[in-house]
Structure 1
Amino acid sequence: MKSFFWGLCALILCFNLQAQESYQLIPKPAKLTPVPGKFLFQKNTVITLSTQDESFNAVATMLKDQISLSSGLNLAIKSSSASSKGVVFVQNASLGDEAYRLNISTKKIEIQAKSGKGAFYALQTLFQLMPAQIYSNVTSSYELTALACQIEDAPRFSYRGMMLDVGRYYFPVSFIKRFLDLMAVYKLNTFHWHLTEDQGWRIEIKKYPLLTSVSSVRKETMVGHYRDQKFDNKPYGGFYTQDEIKEVIAYASKKFITIIPEIEMPGHSQAVLAAYPELGCNPDKIYQVATKWGISEDVLCPREETFTFMENVLTEVMALFPGQYIHIGGDECPKKQWKESRFCQDLIKKLGLKDEHELQSYFIRRIDKFVTSKGKKLLGWDEILEGGLSPNAMVMSWRGTKGGIEAAKQNHDVVMSPNSFFYLDYYQADPKTQPLAIGGNLTLAKSYSFEPDLPELTAEEAKHIVGIQANVWTEYISTPAYAEYMTFPRALALSEISWSPKQPKDYDDFLRRVKGILPGMDALKINYCPVGLK
């Protein structure tokens, strides 16, 4: 009898281990219980909405459309009380905004969520439990199933972000939408759109048309590494109209993605000065849109005319973007011109400031006050800590974690984005085997090793770490295909760290699951870096 009991236990354990091996999900759910069998979709399968919440209807329609697109099955959607079979959406007010429960048996798939947002994330998990063909946009004949299981899931962080720099290279609206699509698949919910740079201004501002006719075009572009100092002698430009911005925002909202625009100031603004030189410390200087990468010493001068200009720009930007935050950069602002400017030195004395760092703090505080007056919140890189942090600002910590720790200790919210873990323009494998990149050495394993629970913070201070972000800077990334290659698979590490509960790092398990979802990535036609995956 004892041998039978232990044999049964061993059998159950073996099933659970084998079952867990087959659930290859990114990000890893908070709780997954294996269940034997699969749910089979058939032509008479019905999608049932047992709620009047319209946001669920939108998600149910996404499921219907994707199944039709990939398999040809045309499933009906109906509204009624919870069904005992088919796919059923159930509203559960006790769950968090992004939480969900997904119960799959051989007879029924039940999705519970507070609103369409949680249901949408349940849908992304459901797709990963189905054959990879579900992601294909070509109708084909195959058995459409979903692995049976019970999942209870919710994100660890509310901010799960990706940044794309379009200031160096412009990317078409079609790719921006694809970037959003791929973010959504892996439950990332914040798109940081880096719209302005020394090398190009990419957003239409109707009050200042020279920003698009002059500031959006540089006369040439660097070729090869910066050290080579070679140029292609070809004009390069591009920008998004306000209608295109609205189109992208509307598209993102359907994926439950918030877009944060970045308008750089007071540094990284040489392109602005090319069109409006009176905003610089040397108004008589002839500026041009930057053609070299790196940091420009041509920065905005903190004159009243400059504040008026930036407030007018931000007024148009804030009217376009419904999200809470406006990113104003604030990073890498050389102080040389401010030190040499009689106006700046007089202003420092007039305001009783200690130095140029405090002058930058004055600049940021002025902008923060304006942004706050419009019902928005300011977000900036960790340099905005220098000279004193603006009262309402959130900090994005990129120079390691030090700035984020300092901000959190001052009770400011923080997004962790340390360059050594999440700058996706860094090489991800041996440079001899890779296309040209800025440098660095950031493997998938290194990205995955980041842990945002920092020992320097108390439990109360740690609550100010609201999320994590990875950044795709594009000095050396000129095409959508290359941007995608540098983003994946490292974005999967970001997905898991920002969504899944804190747990001991198990890179082997993570890598196994990454390899397990490769058929889905292939079906999505993601141009990912294959090093170490195949």
Structure 2
Amino acid sequence: MLIPQPTSYASRPGGWTLTADTAVDAPAEIAALLRELLTPATGLPLPDGPGELRFTLGGAAHLGDEGYTLIVDETGVHATAASLAGLRWAVQALRQLLPVAAYATEPVPGTAWTLPYVEITDRPRYPWRGIMIDVGRWYKPMSWLYTVVDLIAMHRMNTLHLHLTEDQGWRFEVRRHPRLTSVGAWRADSPVGHEHDGLRDDVPHGGFYTQDELRDLVAYAARRGVTVVPEIDLPGHTVAAVAAYPELGNFPEVQHEVATRWGIHDRVLNCDDATVQVMREVLDELVDVFPGELIHLGGDEVPPREWLEGASGRARMAELGLTDPEDLLGWWINQLADHLRGHGRRVVVWDELVGRGVPKDALIMAWRAQDRVVAALRDGHDVVATPQSHVYLDYNESMAEGEPLSIGFGPTPLSTVYGYDPEPTDAPDNGHRVVGVQGNLWAEYLPTPARAEYNLLPRLCAVAEAGWGTRGDEAEFRRRLAAQLPRFDAMGVTYRPLD
């Protein structure tokens, strides 16, 4: 039983078993991936050579870049795809066909590594199938981000959106501006309980990722077909940056601390040329670490009060002839989009930028409601659908007694996530489209990996199915999901039990 459900799946009685003599006939990248994923649990060497595990590049062109076919019969395994991306998804499907023990991290002796006879033809609906992980509010160990990549790839999802900066912590090493992490990565304390309780833990918290650590993560993800899209959130959600360098703020004579409470903060970057230049230098280092085309610049929840009260914002409005300070948001993003274009990159922003003069090639993440998907399409943008009503996985799954503390805007049960169709019925026919769907895991109330996994799983599975485009009967999905949970057990990850 596979998640996401393949486009076409047919089985028949019988099976074929991997043994110590099984060899791999595949492109080098795919052979290495098979060994990386299967050998730890099976103990099988899976050497190169003419063999029964055949992965052929160049077939199945009609299935697109990520489609594949996978046949298991009396002769072994034969997968075909037009690209390495498709073959990688064939590997992930193959792993799900094996016994649950294939997901163990150590050898499981005595297991018959038998695959059922199947014929699979498969292709995704959307090219962007992602999960956003917020590490700005609570730093998470790098080892856990590797686990997240494994979970994403396991479900044939291809994007990890990494939210690296927040009011409560700056997590990306910037060598030219070291105080962003030496100061901005650390806060004095954190809330205890819900934010509105007003209680503090009096425990300093922080951490950041070096550029070399992130390069290694990017390479690990790429081997699994996952692109890491970094987000430097600006010009709002920048209290940590202003605490590190007060001259980036609108009132540099006032020393601010890294934020210790959740919610939206008035502190935003000023509109000086020097501040824009600092952010260009941040992005110069960012693109050297993250080779993908897309760079997320945030742009959400930017209160304009400081721009109205400070000299910098008023001067920039006068220069540009603006009457609405919120239009400075579009100006800010345009400065950096132009710079990133020089690096061959394209920006992603949240849906607050719709109608604010953002470049037409900007990819919009529509989060506030499904109607923002339509608004972004009408404004001439491609869209990643990620509405809080359906795919905000930080929202609690139920209101039942015993559920752990969550942000409180839910509940968002598994059925709601599974029922989401990213495609709006009233989408304009102007050449722009929904390019994908993403689940977001904001971290205010998810301080540990285990706590984050509880909210992430198993709803990630429903997001994967929406992105792959094979969503159907929920009862049938839940039957497949029941078979998926033991795989999580074998991986050693936490999940919320099914109701």
TM-score calculated relative to the size of structure 2: 0.96
**Contact kept in structure 2, 1:35 and 1:105, CA below 8 Å:** no
Per the alignment, residue 241 of structure 1 pairs with 210
Match status 1:174 vs 2:143: yes
Q: Does 1:344 align with 2:310?
A: no
Q: Over the residues paired in the alignment, what is the CA RMSD in angstroms?
A: 1.6
Deviations 1:321-358 (A, max 9, x none): 10011111100001111122243223212211131121
Q: 1:73 to 1:281 in 2, by over 3 A?
A: closer
Letter in 2 for 1:35: R
Given the alignment of the two structures, is residue 112 of structure 1 paired with residue 80 of structure 2, yes or no? yes
Q: Which amino acid aligns with 2:3?
A: I
Aligned-pair CA distance for 1:396: 0.4
Q: Name which of 27, 31, 42 aligns with 2:4.
A: 27
Correspondence for 2:45: 74
Match of 2:251 in 1: 282
* Cα drift, residue 383 of structure 1: 0.6
1:45 aligns with 2:22: yes
- 1:136 aligned onto 2:104: yes
The aligned amino acid for 2:162 is W
Partner of 2:327: 358
Aligned AA for 1:104?
Answer: V
1:273 matched to 2:239: no
Q: Distance in 2 between matches of 1:65 and 1:395?
A: 35
Deviation of 1:94 (Å): 4.5
Question: How many residues were matched structurally?
Answer: 495
Distance, in Å, in 2 between the alignment partners of 1:369 and 1:75 is: 48
Q: Once the two structures are superposed, what CA deviation does each residue of 1:470-506 show, in whole Å capped at 9, x if it has no partner?
A: 11111111111111111100000011110134x6x41
- The 1:155/1:235 distance shift into structure 2, 3 A limit, reads same
Shift of 1:238: 0.4
Following the alignment from structure 2 to structure 1, what is the Cα–Cα distance between the partners of residues 341 and 33? 37
Matched, 1:324 2:257: no
Q: In structure 2, which of residues 226, 229, 238 is the aligned counterpart of residue 257 of structure 1?
A: 226
- 1:100 corresponding residue in structure 2: 68
1:151 to 120, 125, 137: 120
Q: Percent same amino acid at aligned positions?
A: 37
| Other-structure match for 1:53 | none
Tell me the secondary structure at the aligned position of residue 15 of structure 2: strand
The CA distance in 2 between the partners of 1:68 and 1:346, in whole Å, is 62
Which whole-Å CA distance do the structure 2 matches of 1:429 and 1:281 have between them? 42
Q: 1:508 matched to which residue of 2?
A: 475
Q: Relative to structure 1, is the Cα distance of residues 64 and 244 closer, same or farther in structure 2, using a 3 angstrom cutoff?
A: closer
**Does the residue aligned with 1:411 lie in a helix, a strand or coil?**
coil
Matched with 1:60 is 31
Runs of 4+ in 1 over 6 A off after TM superposition: none
8 Å CA contact retained: 2:55, 2:78: yes
Distance 1:295 1:510 in 2: 37
Which whole-Å CA distance do the structure 2 matches of 1:272 and 1:106 have between them? 60
TM-score normalised by L of structure 1: 0.90
SS of the equivalent of 2:444 reads coil
| Aligned partner letter, 2:160 | F
Q: Who wins on radius of gyration, i.e. which is larger?
A: 1
Unaligned runs of 5+ in 1: 1-23, 50-55
Is this contact kept in 1: 2:240–2:258, CA < 8 A? Answer: yes
Superposition pairs of residues 360-379 of structure 1, within 5 angstroms:
360-379=329-348
Candidates 380, 385, 388, aligned match of 2:354: 385
Alpha-carbon shift at residue 390 of structure 1 (Å): 2.5
8 Å CA contact 1:100–1:118 kept in 2: the answer is: yes
**Counterpart position of 1:190:** 159
Deviation per CA, 1:243-283, whole angstroms, max 9, x where unpaired?
A: 11111111111111111111111100011111111111111
Which stretch has the larger CA shift, 88-97 or 465-474? 88-97
Secondary structure class of the residue paired with 1:191: strand
TM-superposed deviation, 1:418: 0.4
The alpha-carbon distance between structure 1 residues 67 and 353, as it changes in their structure 2 partners (threshold 3 A), is closer
Give 1:523's aligned residue.
490
Residues 360 and 380 in structure 2, CA contact (< 8 A), matched pair in contact too: no
